[in-house]
Amino acid sequence: MMNSGQPEFSDQGKTMKNLIACGLAVISAVGAITARAAEVSLSGFATAGYARSDQDYNYQRFVDQQGTFKRDSVLGAQMDVKLNNEFGVTLQGKLAPSMNSDQGVDATVSWAFLSWRPTNDWLIRVGRLRIPVYLQSENMDVGATFDFARLPAEVYSSVQTTDGDGLFVGKTWNLDDYELTLNGYWASAKMHYRYYRRDDAQPLFSAGSYFVPVKSTARGLILTLQRDDDTLRVSAHDIATRITDDQWLPVTFPYVAMMPGVGYYQTTNLLPGPGVQSVADIRAMAYTLAADVAVGNGFRVMGEYVRRNVPDVATGPDSQGAYLALLKPMGAWTPYVSVARLESMERTRSLYNKVNGNSVPAFIPGAALINVSQRAGADGINAYDQTTWALGTSYRLGLNSKVKAEWARTRSGDMSLFIDAPPGGQSGKQVVNVLTFSYNVVF
């Protein structure tokens, strides 16, 4: 499952219009009662990113040996309206490859919120904004603000909720040289989970990507400790996700024995068997640990760990992911090396391996269809097992722009939902080398 995490213009046209209307109404209303004229600040950001792999299948949706600009490119604009010293309104929109289709570009509203800072220590925001799950969550679309050519997918592409509509409250304590901030939020977001079916079995289903619309409601606490440029962060999130169409998530696939040693996993109710129990609602807890600290001699270490606990669904995204990076800023250059790992928990990987590896002999009536259904069922399991090493650098061209280059080598273990396996092939036991170049600017 590659989580889109981004509410879509096409799906949420009404919501977006409502938010814009709400934002404008707020600006008008608060502006009217504010003696000073509002200060408006316009800014923008863009990334032109090119990525190419050494494989003919797609990795992370778009990256193959033909090369693509679709994986990392984005164009965005932001308007900050300062109504007075306490109230402000922020709107951010962006153009980026669609997150509910592998075709086309979507315009989305990332942020639309009213902020209220009644004192130095409190910050209350209402509306749509990015949930600060990871160190770079809030600014992950703005490539000029970090040095990685691509934030590690093993962590950043597995989040369940990124932009949310809701209430965000932050309290800061200044402790001598340290700043401690506790953020809490309650927000919901509509997005899509992406799956890729490798085999074609007409008229039952087609090969290719398909998207499952979901609505997630999340609440969480994020504790951040900062001193100068060093940051430590821990967070906990309670996430309730509802699939909003009829593509419910199977709890597991029951095994149907046909004869000794021969049988199949019932991956669809079109196959005979006791029935596939599916659920529309998935409950998850997510926990993160993060650090970005100087370690001496000009080196920095960044690392993040995320654990998603999905106890009720064997096919769900029950996983843990992490990355560790060493960076060495040297003038305009910041070279880095990183290693990242994402793996589903044993129960999920075991189910994937059993279903994916199962087949019935050709003499069984309907064997071909049964065998395709096994692989299709496996394709719908949120299973990951991959490790990525990356070596890259950013180079600062000026105050507002960076170019970046990276070579990354990803090796999948038994499987990876980030890999679109070719027909009849496997996402497991693959090695993908990806070269990335990007130009990142804010203006």
Partner 1 sequence: MKTTIKIASLAVSLAFAQAYGGDIVVIGNGNVPKMDSATIQKIYTGKLISVSGVSVVPVGVKPGMAARNRFLQDFLNQDEEKFTAYWTVRRYIGKGVPPAEMASTAEVISHVQATPGAVGYVDEAELKPGLNVIARK
Instruction: For residue 429, give the DSSP letter.
Output: S
Stretch touching partner 1 by CB under 8 A, among 57-65, 83-91, 197-205, 368-376 = 83-91
Compare residues 16 and 91 and give the one whose CB is closer to partner 1.
91
Rounded Cα distance between 137 and 184, Å, is: 15
Rounded Cα distance between 148 and 119, Å, is: 35
Q: What is the DSSP string of 46-82?
A: EEEEEEEESSSS-BTTTBSTT-BSTTT-EEEEEEEEE
Binding partner 1 (rule: CB under 8 A), the pick from 70, 71, 94, 125 is: 125
| 148: contact with partner 1 by CB under 8 A | no
Shortest Cβ distance from residue 80 to partner 1 (Å)? 5
Shortest Cβ distance from residue 179 to partner 1 (Å)? 7
Of residues 149-178, those binding partner 1 (CB under 8 A): 172, 174
Compare residues 37 and 257 and give the one whose CB is closer to partner 1.
37
Contact map string, positions 371 to 410, toward partner 1, x by CB under 8 A: -------------------------x--xx----------
| 78: contact with partner 1 by CB under 8 A | yes
Closest CA to 93 of 73, 107, 113, 72: 107
Closest CA to 100 of 250, 210, 245: 210
Compare residues 49 and 127 and give the one whose CB is closer to partner 1.
127
Cα distances (angstroms) measured from residue 62 to each of 55, 261, 345: 11, 40, 26
Binding partner 1 (rule: CB under 8 A), the pick from 4, 90, 235, 344 is: 90
Q: Give the HSE-up count for residue 24: Cα atoms under 13 Å, Cβ half-sphere.
A: 5
Binding partner 1 (rule: CB under 8 A), the pick from 95, 107, 123, 364 is: 123
Of residues 228-247, those binding partner 1 (CB under 8 A): none
| 414: contact with partner 1 by CB under 8 A | no
How would you write 116-182 as a 3-class SS string?
Answer: ECCCCCEEEEEEEEECCCCCCCCCCCCHHHCCCCCCCHHHHCCCCCCEEEEEEEEEEEEECCEEEEE
Compare residues 80 and 230 and give the one whose CB is closer to partner 1.
80
Instruction: For residue 365, give the DSSP letter.
Output: T
Compare residues 260 and 331 and give the one whose CB is closer to partner 1.
331
Neighbours of 295 (CB within 10 A): 11
Closest CA to 20 of 106, 98, 85, 92: 92
Binding partner 1 (rule: CB under 8 A), the pick from 85, 103, 202, 297 is: 85
Shortest Cβ distance from residue 284 to partner 1 (Å)? 25
Binding partner 1 (rule: CB under 8 A), the pick from 115, 320, 334, 371 is: 115
* Interface residues toward partner 1, by CB under 8 A: 39, 41, 43, 45, 78, 80, 82, 85-86, 88, 90, 111, 113, 115, 117, 119-120, 123, 125, 129-130, 132, 138-139, 141-142, 144-145, 172, 174, 179, 396, 399-400, 442
